[in-house]
Amino acid sequence: MSEPLVQVQDLSLSRGAFRLEVPRWQVPPGRVVGLVGANGAGKTTLLRLLPGLDPCPRGSVRVFGLDPVDQGAQVRLGLGFMADDHPVFRLRIGKLLRTLSGYWPSWDEGLVQQLLERFELDPSKGVWELSRGEATRIRLVCAMAFRPRLLVLDEPAMGLDVRGRRQLLESVLDIVRAPHRSVVISSHQLVDLERIADELLVLDKGRVVQQGPTDELVGDSRTLEEAMLTWGAA
């Protein structure tokens, strides 16, 4: 059996009065994992640990078997991270992508062109000229362009219309067609997540209330939103 891409054990993290506790969580290869919960549940706090943006004070977080903080450079060679507030160089799109291409040996120029077409982005346009939806899409291109083994998306649908969300879902599914890659995605778009997530991690006020295969947790007789209400995590 393949080693998990993410392994979290006995995680405990406090921020003021808020505490995030995740006893055990794994992300196997070839899966789309949906991270869901109400605002303030701890989703972003957890996701920021994976690329090493924040340290893990208690417990263990491993990505590709590595410590994301102590071995961050190695982790980020295989991990693509996107959040709506993630900073982007103030350049024209084409120059931005050429600049970033030098950081990753696995950068795929052909994939970049496909994504630019799919997301309808003009390489000559400046980042400062982008609408919110366009800024979201260029962040997605940057996160996907080097074909990461693990793609981590924090609310990637913010600012996207229905068409943009469909393009996003198509891109996510393209990635996990490779059995050694996985996607972890946090989103309030529960209908979208229910369609693509193989597994769920459900948080409520910093605690895990459900985790496991989506079809087993949700079933056929209710929606994910209805299940969230049942679990008290909506």
> Which positions ≥6 away from 70 have C-beta within 8 Å?
none
Whole-number Å distance between alpha carbons of 159 and 137: 9
205-219: pLDDT as tens digits: 999 999 999 999 998
Q: Are 137 and 153 in contact (CB under 8 A)?
A: no
Is 140 buried (19+), middle (13-18) or exposed (0-12) by CB count in 10 A? Answer: buried
pLDDT at 55: 92
**Mean pLDDT (the chain, rounded):** 92
Whole-number Å distance between alpha carbons of 9 and 25: 7
23-37: pLDDT as tens digits: 999 999 999 999 999
- Residue whose C-alpha is closest to residue 31's, from 48, 67, 63, 6: 6
> Which positions ≥6 away from 26 have C-beta within 8 Å?
4, 6, 7, 8
In this predicted structure, the answer to whether residue 221 has a pLDDT above a threshold of 90 is no
113-169: pLDDT as tens digits: 999 998 999 999 999 999 988 998 999 999 999 999 999 999 988 778 888 888 888
pLDDT at 211: 96
pLDDT at 117: 92
C-alpha Rg value of the chain to the nearest Å = 17
- Tokens 């998306």 locate to 153
Read off the pLDDT of each residue in 189-206 and give the average, rounded to a whole number: 92
Whole-number Å distance between alpha carbons of 137 and 114: 13
Specify the DSSP class assigned to residue 129.
Answer: G
Region of 8 (left: φ > 0; alpha: ψ -120 to 50; beta: rest) is: beta
DSSP string, 29-97: TT-EEEEE-STTSSHHHHHTTTTTSS--SEEEEEETTB-TTTTHHHHHTTEEEEETT----SSBHHHHH
Query: Count of alpha carbons within 13 Å of 216, Cβ hemisphere only?
Result: 8
SS (H, E, C) 136-190: HHHHHHHHHCCCCCEEEEECCCCCCCHHHHHHHHHHHHHHCCCCCCEEEEECCCH
Specify the DSSP class assigned to residue 127.
Answer: G
83-122: pLDDT as tens digits: 988 888 999 999 999 999 999 999 999 999 999 998 999 9
181-194: pLDDT as tens digits: 999 999 888 988 89
Whole-number Å distance between alpha carbons of 103 and 14: 33
